[in-house]
C-alpha cells in the first residue's frame, strides 16, 4: 500500500510538472490551430536559460523566472511573427508541424553551438530538499512545480474568461473571420497568445531543468509525451492537459511498481483506449479538433 | 585518305602512350616521392542523443590518438584521417553509418561506436565486408555471443566487472558486512548482465536482495524507480546505468528521500569525469563507486602521457578525464600495433594477427584477445569519488586507497 501511495504521490507531483510544460502547447493549438512541435525544445531552451542564470550568474532559477518568462514571451512573439503568421489556408495546421519542427531544429542547433551535447543540470537547494508528510518525502521542487502549474493554469483561465483580451482570444478560437469582422486584430491576438504559450514554458523548463539532467536534444523525449498529454486532455483544453498529465504520469508510476518496462506501453495504450471512447479527448470538444 | 588515317592513328597511339605514362607517373608519385593518400579510419559515434557525453569523449580519444600517431609517422608512412558519422545514439543509424563508411566512403578500417547496444549490430555489418572492428565500449556478453571473428574489445569485459566489489564485500567482517542490497538496472545489454551477476554473487554471500527491477532509462520513470529503491532502504545499491543522467536522477531522488546507502555503485556514469560532476554537483559525489579498467590517475606511463596531452588541450584535472577517452585511445593503439606487426593495411591480416594471442599494450593496460575478441588481459578495478577526486579503491593493495565505507551522507 505504501508503494502504491508513493507512486500516486509521485504521479500527481510529476504530472503537474508535465501539465506545466504542456499548457503552452494546448493554448497555442486552441487559439491558432498550430501544433507546435518545437514545444519540447522550447522547454529545454528555458531549462538552459535557468541553467545559465543559476550556474554562471548565480541567480536563483525560481527568481530567474522574472527574467526567463519575459524573455520566452518575446521569443514566442518573434517565432509567431517570423514563421507562424506566414501559414495560411486549409493546410495551415499540417504545415505548422513542419514549420515548428524547423524552429525546433534551429533552436536545437543554436543550443548545441552554445552548450555542446554534454548533459548539464542545476541543483538549487530546493531541488534536493523535501518535506516529510504522512510518511512520504515530498520534494520542494515538485511542490513548486505543482504550485507553478496551478498558478499558470489559473492565470490562463482568468485571462481567457475574465479579460477583454480573453474575449478576443475566444472569439478568435471560435471563428477567425467573424473575429476580424467585429474589429479584433487577429494577428495581434495570435502573436500575444503564442508569446504567452511560450512564456508559460519558461516555468516548465525551469522545473524540468531542476529535476533532470538535460542536453539540447532532450526535447525529443519530451515532445512525444507532451503531445500525448494534450491529445488525451483534448486539444486546446487547458484543464484537459492538467487532468491528462496527472492521469498519465500517475498510471505510469503505478505500473512502475510491478513492471517498469511496461510503463511506457501502458501510457500509450491508455491514450489509444481513451481516444477510441472519446475521440476529442477527456475534456476536449469535437469542434475544437475539427477547426 | 590513308595518310590522314595514318596521322590519326599516330596521334591516337601517342595520346594513349602519353596517358599511360601520366597515369604511371601519378601512381608512382603516390607510392614513393609525393604526398601519399591518407589511411581513412571510420567510426559511427553518438555525438547527440542518450550517449552524447560518451560519444563526444570517444571522439576526443580517437582524435587524440590520431594526432599522436600522425606525429609519429602515421600508419605505414601514411597520415591517419578520421571520418565520423553521428548515429544519434541509435543502433539502427549506427548500422547504416558503418554500411556507408565501408561501401561509400571505402574507409581502410572501422573502429567501434559507443556502447554494447550499438557495437553488436555494427560488428555484423563490418563482418559482412571482412572488416575488423576494434572497439572500446562493447564489452557486454551479447556482443561476443554471436562469435564474430572480427570484433576486438580493448576494454574490460563487463560481465564480471563488479567482481572486485563483490570480493570486497565478502572480505568485510560479518559485523560490518551490509545485509541487504537493491539491484535496479536499465534494460541495456551493458548493464543487465552485470547487475544479474552481482545479485547472484551477493545473494550467495548472504546479502538479502530487497529490490530487482529492469527499467527503461526514460526521464519520467527514474524518480519513481529511485523512490522505490529508497523505500526499500537497502544498505547496498548496485545501479545498472549506461550514462550520467540516470545516476544523477537516482542521486537527486535519494537526497530528496533522505536515503544514503552504505555502498552506492553504478555501472557507468561516475566514470565520466567532468560530465558527471557537472550533473550531480561537487557536493553529491562523495563515496559513489564505479567499476572500470582505467582512471585519470593511472600510473601507466602511456596513460600519464595521454592524460597530460588531454589536459593541455581540453583543460581540467586528471579526475575529470572521461574513461571513454582512454577506451577510444586504446582502440587506436591496438590498431597501430596490429598494422606495425603485420606491415599491412589488410583487414584480413589484422584480424588474423589480433587472434594470434599476441599481448599488446594500451593506456588501459595489457590487451590480449580470446577467440571471440574479449580482452583476457584486462583487470577489473573499482573507483570511487572521494572529496571530488576519482581514486582507485579496489581491489585492495597496490595502487588502491582505502574505500570510503560506509558512504558519507549526501552533501558532505
pLDDT above 90 as % of chain A: 47
Residue B397 has a pLDDT of 81
Nearest residue of B to residue A9, measured between CA atoms: B224
Report residue A79's pLDDT band, with 50, 70 and 90 as the boundaries.
very high
Kindly state whether residues B232 and B346 are assigned to the same domain: no
Kindly state whether residues B257 and B388 are assigned to the same domain: yes
pLDDT above 70 as % of chain B: 91
Kindly state whether residues B172 and B254 are assigned to the same domain: yes
In a domain, B373, yes or no: no
Tens of pLDDT, residue by residue over B275-305, are 898 888 888 899 999 999 888 888 899 999 9
Rounded to whole angstroms, the Cα distance separating B134 from B331 reads 6
Number of domains in chain B: 2
What is the CATH number for A160? 1.10.3470
Nearest residue of B to residue A129, measured between CA atoms: B256
In a domain, B6, yes or no: no
- Look at residues A144, A98, A37 and name the one whose alpha carbon lies nearest to residue B256: A144
Nearest residue of A to residue B49, measured between CA atoms: A217
Rounded to whole angstroms, the Cα distance separating A253 from A13 reads 11
Give just the sign of the alpha carbon dihedral A121, A126, A129, A130. Answer: negative
DSSP SS3 for B222: helix
Is A215 within 8 Å of B256 when comparing Cβ atoms? no
Is A117 within 8 Å of B47 when comparing Cβ atoms? yes
Kindly state whether residues B142 and B92 are assigned to the same domain: yes
Task: Tell which phi-psi region holds residue B151, choosing left (phi > 0), alpha (psi between -120 and 50) or beta.
Answer: beta
- Look at residues B32, B65, B64, B62 and name the one whose alpha carbon lies nearest to residue B47: B62
Rounded to whole angstroms, the Cα distance separating B139 from A234 reads 47
Report residue B24's pLDDT band, with 50, 70 and 90 as the boundaries.
very low
Is B411 within 8 Å of A128 when comparing Cβ atoms? yes
Kindly state whether residues B174 and B200 are assigned to the same domain: yes
Rounded to whole angstroms, the Cα distance separating A68 from A61 reads 9
Residue B205 has a pLDDT of 94
Is B252 within 8 Å of A216 when comparing Cβ atoms? no
User: A61 and chain B: CB distance < 8 Å anywhere?
Assistant: no
B291: β partners: B382
Report how far apart, in Å, the C-alpha atoms of A114 and of each of A41, A216, A287, B211 are.
14, 10, 43, 41
User: A40 and chain B: CB distance < 8 Å anywhere?
Assistant: no
Residue A273 corresponds to which cell in the numbers above? 483506449
DSSP state of A91: T
Kindly state whether residues B50 and B128 are assigned to the same domain: yes
CB < 8 Å to A123, chain B: 252, 280-281, 284
User: A6 and chain B: CB distance < 8 Å anywhere?
Assistant: yes
In a domain, B60, yes or no: yes
Q: What are phi and psi of A120, to 5 degrees?
A: -130, 170
Residue B26 has a pLDDT of 41
Is A213 within 8 Å of B244 when comparing Cβ atoms? yes
Domain that holds residue A136: 2-290
Distance from CA of B215 to the nearest CA of A (A): 5
End-to-end CA distance of chain A: 45
CB < 8 Å to A221, chain B: 218-219
CB < 8 Å to A10, chain B: 223-224, 227
Residue A92 has a pLDDT of 80
Is A217 within 8 Å of B275 when comparing Cβ atoms? no
DSSP SS3 for A129: coil
Number of domains in chain A: 1
Strand B133-135 relative to strand B288-292: parallel, antiparallel, unpaired?
A: unpaired
Read off the pLDDT of each residue in A114-120 and give the average, rounded to a whole number: 87
DSSP state of B382: E
In a domain, B129, yes or no: yes
A 107-166 residues inside an 8 A Cβ radius of B: 112, 116-121, 123, 127-130, 132, 137, 139
User: A263 and chain B: CB distance < 8 Å anywhere?
Assistant: yes
CB < 8 Å to A213, chain B: 244-245, 248-249, 279
- Look at residues A171, A159, A235, A237 and name the one whose alpha carbon lies nearest to residue A199: A159
Kindly state whether residues B254 and B386 are assigned to the same domain: yes
What is the CATH number for B65? 3.40.50.2300
ipTM, 2 dp: 0.87
Is A217 within 8 Å of B284 when comparing Cβ atoms? no
Domain that holds residue B95: 39-158+301-354
Kindly state whether residues B244 and B322 are assigned to the same domain: no
| Rg of chain B (C-alpha set) | 25
Strand B133-135 relative to strand B109-111: parallel, antiparallel, unpaired?
A: parallel
Kindly state whether residues B98 and B242 are assigned to the same domain: no
Read off the pLDDT of each residue in A151-163 and give the average, rounded to a whole number: 89
- Look at residues B120, B152, B140 and name the one whose alpha carbon lies nearest to residue B185: B140
> Which residue in the set A118, A253, A260 is minimally distant from B53, CB to CB?
A118
Rounded to whole angstroms, the Cα distance separating A226 from A25 reads 8
> Which residue in the set B49, B227, B280 is minimally distant from A6, CB to CB?
B227
User: A213 and chain B: CB distance < 8 Å anywhere?
Assistant: yes
Rounded to whole angstroms, the Cα distance separating B370 from B180 reads 36
Nearest residue of A to residue B259, measured between CA atoms: A137
In a domain, B400, yes or no: no
Residue B20 has a pLDDT of 47
- Look at residues A259, A54, A9, A48 and name the one whose alpha carbon lies nearest to residue B256: A9
In a domain, B15, yes or no: no
Report residue B10's pLDDT band, with 50, 70 and 90 as the boundaries.
low
Q: Is residue B399 classed exposed, middle or buried when 0-12, 13-18 and 19+ CB atoms within 10 A define those classes?
A: middle
Read off the pLDDT of each residue in B317-322 and give the average, rounded to a whole number: 88
Q: Which helix (H) or strand (E) holds B393?
A: strand B389-394
Is B215 within 8 Å of A256 when comparing Cβ atoms? yes
Residue A82's CB: how many other CB atoms inside 10 A?
11
Tens of pLDDT, residue by residue over A249-264, are 999 889 988 889 888 8
Entry field: residues in chain A: 291
In this model, does residue A291 exceed pLDDT 50?
no
> Which residue in the set A7, A128, A216 is minimally distant from B256, CB to CB?
A128
- Candidates A54, A118, A221: best to mutate against B (most CBs of B within 10 A) is A118
- Candidates B48, B224, B240, B321: best to mutate against A (most CBs of A within 10 A) is B224
Read off the pLDDT of each residue in B206-223 and give the average, rounded to a whole number: 91
Distance from CA of A117 to the nearest CA of B (A): 6
In this model, does residue B22 exceed pLDDT 50?
no
Higher pLDDT, residue B379 or A90 = B379
Residue B305's CB: how many other CB atoms inside 10 A?
12
Alpha-helical runs (H) found in B244-322: 244-256, 273-280, 301-314
Rounded to whole angstroms, the Cα distance separating A48 from A36 reads 19
Rounded to whole angstroms, the Cα distance separating B19 from B25 reads 10
Rounded to whole angstroms, the Cα distance separating A10 from A6 reads 6
Rounded to whole angstroms, the Cα distance separating B309 from A36 reads 46
Kindly state whether residues B189 and B233 are assigned to the same domain: yes
Kindly state whether residues B121 and B270 are assigned to the same domain: no
Kindly state whether residues B167 and B278 are assigned to the same domain: yes
Is A121 within 8 Å of B220 when comparing Cβ atoms? no
Contact A202, A42 (CB under 8 A): no
Contact B107, B77 (CB under 8 A): no
In a domain, B359, yes or no: no
Report residue A287's pLDDT band, with 50, 70 and 90 as the boundaries.
very low
Is B231 within 8 Å of A211 when comparing Cβ atoms? no
Residue B31 has a pLDDT of 41
User: A33 and chain B: CB distance < 8 Å anywhere?
Assistant: no
User: B257 and chain A: CB distance < 8 Å anywhere?
Assistant: yes
In a domain, B178, yes or no: yes
Rounded to whole angstroms, the Cα distance separating A53 from A68 reads 9
Amino acid at each position: 500500500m505504501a508503494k502504491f501511495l508513493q507512486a500516486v504521490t509521485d504521479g500527481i507531483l510529476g504530472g503537474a510538472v508535465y501539465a506545466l510544460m504542456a499548457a503552452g502547447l494546448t493554448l497555442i493549438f486552441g487559439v491558432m490551430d498550430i501544433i507546435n512541435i518545437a514545444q519540447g525544445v522550447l522547454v529545454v531552451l528555458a531549462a538552459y536559460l535557468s541553467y545559465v542564470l543559476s550556474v554562471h550568474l548565480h541567480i536563483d532559477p525560481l527568481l530567474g523566472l522574472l527574467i526567463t518568462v519575459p524573455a520566452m514571451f518575446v521569443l514566442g512573439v518573434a517565432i509567431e511573427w517570423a514563421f507562424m503568421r506566414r501559414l495560411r489556408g486549409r493546410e495551415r495546421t499540417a504545415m505548422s508541424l513542419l514549420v515548428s519542427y524547423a524552429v525546433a531544429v534551429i533552436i536545437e542547433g543554436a543550443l548545441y553551438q552554445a552548450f555542446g551535447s554534454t548533459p548539464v543540470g542545476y541543483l538549487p537547494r530546493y531541488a534536493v530538499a523535501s518535506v516529510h508528510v504522512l510518511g512520504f518525502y515530498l520534494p520542494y521542487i515538485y511542490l513548486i512545480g505543482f504550485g507553478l502549474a496551478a498558478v499558470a493554469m489559473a492565470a490562463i483561465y482568468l485571462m481567457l474568461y475574465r479579460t477583454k483580451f480573453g474575449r478576443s482570444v475566444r472569439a478568435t478560437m471560435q471563428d477567425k473571420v467573424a473575429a476580424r469582422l467585429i474589429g479584433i486584430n487577429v494577428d495581434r491576438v495570435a502573436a500575444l497568445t503564442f508569446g504567452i504559450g511560450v512564456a508559460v514554458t519558461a516555468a516548465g523548463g525551469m522545473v524540468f531543468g531542476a529535476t533532470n539532467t538535460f542536453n539540447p536534444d532532450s526535447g525529443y523525449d519530451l515532445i512525444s509525451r507532451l503531445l500525448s498529454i494534450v491529445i488525451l486532455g483534448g486539444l486546446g483544453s487547458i484543464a484537459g492537459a492538467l487532468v491528462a498529465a496527472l492521469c498519465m504520469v500517475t498510471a505510469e508510476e503505478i505500473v512502475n511498481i510491478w513492471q517498469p518496462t511496461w510503463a511506457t506501453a501502458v501510457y500509450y495504450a491508455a491514450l489509444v483506449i481513451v481516444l477510441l471512447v472519446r475521440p476529442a479527448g477527456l475534456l476536449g470538444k469535437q469542434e475544437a479538433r475539427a477547426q | 585518305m590513308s595518310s590522314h588515317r595514318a596521322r590519326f592513328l599516330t596521334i591516337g597511339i601517342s595520346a594513349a602512350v602519353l596517358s599511360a605514362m601520366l597515369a604511371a607517373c601519378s601512381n608512382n608519385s603516390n607510392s614513393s616521392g609525393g604526398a601519399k593518400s591518407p589511411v581513412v579510419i571510420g567510426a559511427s559515434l553518438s555525438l547527440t542523443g542518450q550517449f552524447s557525453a560518451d560519444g563526444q569523449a570517444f571522439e576526443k580519444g580517437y582524435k587524440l590518438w590520431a594526432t599522436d600517431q600522425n606525429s609519429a609517422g602515421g600508419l605505414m608512412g601514411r597520415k591517419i584521417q578520421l571520418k565520423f558519422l553521428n548515429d544519434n545514439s541509435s543502433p539502427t543509424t549506427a548500422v547504416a553509418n558503418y554500411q556507408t563508411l565501408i561501401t561509400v566512403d571505402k574507409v581502410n578500417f572501422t573502429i567501434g561506436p559507443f556502447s554494447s547496444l550499438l557495437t553488436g549490430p555494427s560488428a555484423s555489418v563490418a563482418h559482412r565486408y571482412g572488416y575488423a572492428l576494434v572497439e572500446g565500449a562493447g564489452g557486454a556478453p551479447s556482443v561476443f555471443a554471436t562469435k564474430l571473428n572480427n570484433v576486438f574489445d580493448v576494454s574490460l569485459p563487463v560481465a564480471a566487472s563488479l567482481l572486485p566489489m563483490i570480493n570486497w564485500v565478502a572480505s568485510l567482517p560479518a559485523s560490518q558486512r551490509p545485509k541487504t542490497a537493491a539491484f535496479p538496472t536499465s534494460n541495456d545489454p551493458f548493464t543487465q548482465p552485470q547487475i544479474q551477476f552481482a545479485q547472484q554473487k551477493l545473494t550467495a554471500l548472504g546479502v538479502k536482495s530487497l529490490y530487482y527491477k529492469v527499467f527503461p532509462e526514460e526521464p519520467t520513470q527514474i524518480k519513481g524507480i529511485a523512490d522505490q529503491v529508497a523505500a526499500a532502504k537497502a544498505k547496498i545499491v548496485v545501479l545498472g546505468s549506461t550514462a550520467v543522467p540516470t545516476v544523477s536522477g537516482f542521486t537527486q531522488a535519494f537526497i530528496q528521500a533522505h536515503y544514503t546507502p552504505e555502498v552506492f555503485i553504478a555501472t557507468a556514469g561516475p566514470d565520466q569525469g567532468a560530465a558527471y560532476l557537472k550533473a550531480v554537483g561537487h557536493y553529491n559525489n562523495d563515496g559513489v563507486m564505479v567499476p572500470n579498467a582505467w582512471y585519470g590517475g593511472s600510473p601507466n606511463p602511456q596513460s600519464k602521457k595521454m592524460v597530460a596531452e588531454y589536459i593541455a588541450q581540453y583543460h581540467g584535472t586528471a579526475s575529470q578525464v572521461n574513461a571513454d577517452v582512454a577506451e577510444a585511445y586504446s582502440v587506436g593503439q591496438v590498431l597501430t600495433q596490429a598494422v606495425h606487426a603485420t606491415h599491412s593495411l589488410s583487414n584480413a591480416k589484422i584480424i588474423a594477427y589480433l587472434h594470434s594471442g599476441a599481448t599488446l599494450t594500451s593506456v588501459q593496460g595489457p590487451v590480449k584477445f580470446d577467440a571471440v575478441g574479449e580482452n583476457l588481459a584486462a583487470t577489473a578495478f573499482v573507483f570511487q569519488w572521494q572529496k571530488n577526486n576519482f581514486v582507485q579503491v579496489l581491489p585492495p593493495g597496490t595502487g588502491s586507497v582505502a574505500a570510503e565505507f560506509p558512504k558519507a551522507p549526501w552533501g558532505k
